[in-house]
Amino acid sequence: MQLVCPAGNLPALKAAVRQGADAVYVGFRDDTNARHFAGLNMDDKQFDAAVAHIRQHQRKLYVAVNTYPQPKGWERWQRAVDRAADFGVDALIAADPGVLSYASQRHPRLALHLSVQGSATHAAALAFYAQRYDIRRAVLPRVLSLAQVRQVAAGSPVPIEVFGFGSLCIMAEGRCHLSSYITGESPNLCGVCSPAKAVRWSEDAQGLSARLSEVLIDRYTPEEPAGYPTLCKGRFLVGGKRFHALEEPTSLDTLDLLPELTAIGVEAVKIEGRQRSPAYVEQVTRVWRAALDAHQAAPQRFRVREEWRQVLAGLSEGSQTTLGAYHRSWQ
């Protein structure tokens, strides 16, 4: 199973390569990708260096052009696809049918991966993209149980990639407008969720408040750890009760499922986090490389080591991890 790691900049890419990533995925420095954050992603010069580094170490480079273009910006997405092809990347990760169509016609030798933002959760949806755009792989949304991943993989016309570790979107990717409802900016159209520019922290007698476009997402007492106000991970009121009504601050961690994912025939496991630091990418990649190697060397004796768990828990939101939708009880 291939290990696909994130890089928001050149140092993170080098860290991923150093620790044994089989492939690294990156984005251009604009709203054509779903991590359109200030200071993140690569300009042409950095991209040249990234390609050279990847080639030197014989890994793969994937480029995400996975937001949905609007008519006024269409040429920007075209250019992003052309640039990816010109750089000779190993795959383009895209979701929009218009972008996929353009890429498949203009650059027939460019391998296409269906982005998780495409929201394809079953064989018939995957057939749509496979027949029209000849996609070579699809990334599944984080909404399926392990049994459902098995069914999809069995019926899929293309190999499957799944998320292994990182921030957990609790909504089906590509099918969530919560961020634009509150802030006006959405993952689909702007490549951001709960954007940093909409965040405001304030402290008063009631505690530390985290707001998004002035909407109170959570409020913390001095003893409580405060997290980034991702709007689906705040505490809200439902029926008079205050609780994490949608999800708690937590990260997805599927190390325990490695044997099952391998048995299913999943082609690649993806680490989320292009917005994370090089140190984060370095540590997560190291743990996952070690786990994948240990499993491959002796599948029957594979056990998740305590040290791996501790490293990943330390890097997780709220210092806790979950199997997410892979495990029915989470649902």
Residue 282 makes contact with another protein by CB under 8 A: no
- Supply angle C-alpha 299, 302, 306, rounded to 5: 160
Is residue 137 a contact residue for another protein (CB under 8 A)? Answer: no
Tell me the site size for another protein, rule CB under 8 A: 70
Query: Amino acid identity of 30?
Result: D
Site stretch for another protein (CB under 8 A), options 33-41, 46-54, 119-127, 300-308: 119-127
Q: Rounded to whole angstroms, how far apart are CA atoms 241 and 235?
A: 10
Contact at 8 Å (CB) between 209 and 219? yes
From residue 39, give the alpha-carbon distance in Å to each of 42, 43, 125, 232. Answer: 9, 11, 35, 24
Q: Which of residues 90-109 bind another protein (CB under 8 A)?
A: 95-99, 101-102
Question: Which of 85, 125, 290, 304 lies at the binding interface for another protein (CB under 8 A)?
Answer: 125
Residue type, 266: V
**Which of the ranges 47-55, 68-76, 221-229, 249-257 carries the binding residues for another protein, by CB under 8 A?**
68-76
Q: What are phi and psi of 15, to 5 degrees?
A: -65, -45
Is position 182 an interface residue for another protein (rule: CB under 8 A)?
A: yes
**C-alpha span between 169 and 77 (Å, rounded):** 25
- Binding segment toward another protein, per CB under 8 A, in 243-251, 256-264, 268-276, 298-306: 243-251
Please report whether residue 151 would count as binding another protein according to CB under 8 A: yes
82 binds another protein, rule: CB under 8 A: no
Question: What phi and psi values does residue 35 have, to the nearest 5 degrees?
Answer: -130, 60
Backbone conformation region of residue 72, classed left if phi is above 0, alpha if psi is from -120 to 50, else beta: alpha
Residue 163 is a binding residue for another protein (CB under 8 A): no
User: Which two tokens mark 80?
Assistant: 């992003």
Site string for another protein, 202-221 (x = CB under 8 A): -----------x-xxxxx--
Q: Report the binding-site residues for [4Fe-4S] cluster.
A: 169, 176, 193, 232
Q: What is the DSSP string of 125-156?
A: HHHHHHHHH--SEEEPPTT--HHHHHHHHHH-
d(CA 38, CA 24): 20
Q: Is 184 in the site for another protein (CB under 8 A)?
A: yes
Q: Is 238 in the site for another protein (CB under 8 A)?
A: yes
Among 37, 74, 87, 228, binds another protein (CB under 8 A): 74
- Residue ranges binding another protein (CB under 8 A): 68-72, 74, 95-99, 101-102, 117-125, 127-129, 131-132, 142-145, 148, 151, 170-172, 174-178, 180-184, 186, 188-189, 213, 215-219, 235-239, 241-242, 245-247, 325, 328-331
